[in-house]
Amino acid sequence: MKASRLMAQAAVVATAVLALVGCSSGSSESGAATSGSDASASGAQSGGAGVSLVASTNVWGDIASQIGGDSVTVTSIISDPDKDPHEYQADSRTQLALADAAVVVENGGGYDDFVDTMLSAAKSRATVINAVDVSGFAATQGDELNEHVWYDYPTVTKVAQSIEQALSAADPANASTFKTNLDTFTTKVAGLEKAAADVKATAAGKGAAITEPVPLYLLDAMGLENKTPEAFSEAIEQETDVPATVLDETLKLFSDHQVDVLVYNEQTTGPQTEAVLKAAHDSGTPVVPVQETLPANTDYISWQQKIIDEISAALSK
C-alpha cells in the first residue's frame, strides 16, 4: 500500500468518524448507495433484499453477488474504473453502509485499511472476511506482500467459500441456494486456472514487464518471468520518483527485446509509466492493460478471462 495514500486515507477516515460520533450503528437507513460509477460519492449496489453485505471494492462485491444472488444486497464501496482505488477517500456514506452490514468483505494487506477503522468506530458486529488473511500470503511474503490477491485464483476460491459460509450463517433459510451458487462460481474459477495453465504450457519462461505488481499472481500462474527491476515497480506503487538508472534499466527491457509483453495497471499513470508504455510501443512489444477494479458492464469471470486471452494473444505475436 502506498504510504502517502495511507496517510491521506487516515486523515479522511478520521474526519468521517468524528462527523458520525453519536450516530447509531443500528440506523434504519442502510447507507447503501444507489448504483453508479462515482465510488467516492456513492459506490455500487447490487442484489436484492435480505442479508446486507458491503465489499471494499466491486471485485469482491461482484463475487459476493454471484454467491448471494437475489437474497443478498451487496454494496461495493470502490467501484469507479476510471480512478486509482488507492486514492479513494472514505466518507460518512461509507461509514453508514459499513455500520449496517451483516457481512463485510475487505481486501486487507493495507489496501483498504479505512474499512477496519470505520468498523471499529461503528462498533460493528459484522462478520468480516479479509481476503489477504484468507489467502495466507501475509505469513509467507512478509514485508513484500503483494496485496492484489484477486489475481490469485486459489485465493478467490477460498474467499468465495468464506462468503458462502458467512451468508449461510446469516440467512440459514437460503443456505442451499448460496451453496449452489458457490459451486457454480468455483467451477468457473477452475476454468480460469486451467486457462492460465494452458498459457504456461506454451509460454513458460517468457519475459514480462509490469508497471506495478497488480497482475503478478496471474503472471506467475502463466509461468512468465517478471524482469522488471523491483525498484521501478516499487517506486511507481509508492508514488516516488524512479531513480534515473533504474528507469534506464527498465526501458532497456524493451529496446533490447528482453520481454515479450508489458502488462500494466491502466488505473495508475504518470510520466514514468508513460515512458515505459512508449518504449514498449517503439520496440513493438505487445501491451496488455489490467485494472484494480472491475470494469463497467462485466463480471469477475469474464474480466479475468479477457485478460488471460489478451496476454495469451500477446505472447503469440
Residue-wise pLDDT for 97-135, tens only, equals 999 999 999 999 999 999 999 999 989 999 999 999 999
Other C-beta atoms closer than 10 Å to the C-beta of 297 total: 7
Residue 215 to residue 263: CA distance in whole angstroms: 7
Residue 268 to residue 239: CA distance in whole angstroms: 10
**Averaged pLDDT for residues 82-88:** 66
pLDDT band at 8 (very low <50, low <70, confident <90, very high): very low
For residue 312, pLDDT over 90 is answered with yes
For residue 32, pLDDT over 60 is answered with no
Residue 129, pLDDT score? 98
For residue 172, pLDDT over 80 is answered with yes
The model's pLDDT over 262-283, given as tens digits with 9 standing for 90+, comes to: 999 998 888 999 999 999 999 9
**Averaged pLDDT for residues 162-180:** 98
Higher-confidence position of 95 and 302: 302
pLDDT band at 27 (very low <50, low <70, confident <90, very high): very low
pLDDT band at 13 (very low <50, low <70, confident <90, very high): very low
For residue 46, pLDDT over 50 is answered with yes
Residue 29, pLDDT score? 31
Residue 277, pLDDT score? 97
Residue 230 to residue 250: CA distance in whole angstroms: 10
Residue 9, pLDDT score? 46
Higher-confidence position of 50 and 150: 150
For residue 141, pLDDT over 70 is answered with yes
Burial grade of 223 (CB within 10 A; 0-12, 13-18, 19 or more)? middle
Considering the chain, what is the average pLDDT of its residues? 86
For residue 39, pLDDT over 70 is answered with no
Percent of the chain with pLDDT over 90: 71
Residue 44 to residue 78: CA distance in whole angstroms: 8
Residue 130, pLDDT score? 98
User: Residue 124: CB partners within 8 Å, gap ≥ 6?
Assistant: 25, 98, 99, 101, 104
Residue 303 to residue 220: CA distance in whole angstroms: 18
Residue 317 to residue 313: CA distance in whole angstroms: 7
Considering only CA atoms, which of 273, 235, 253 is closest in space to residue 2?
235
Residue 192 to residue 305: CA distance in whole angstroms: 6
For residue 317, pLDDT over 90 is answered with no
For residue 313, pLDDT over 50 is answered with yes
Residue 47, pLDDT score? 66
Q: pTM of whole model > 0.75?
A: yes
Check: CB of residue 44 under 8 Å from CB of residue 64. Answer: no
Domains defined for the chain, CATH in brackets:
3-193 (3.40.50.1980), 201-315 (3.40.50.1980)
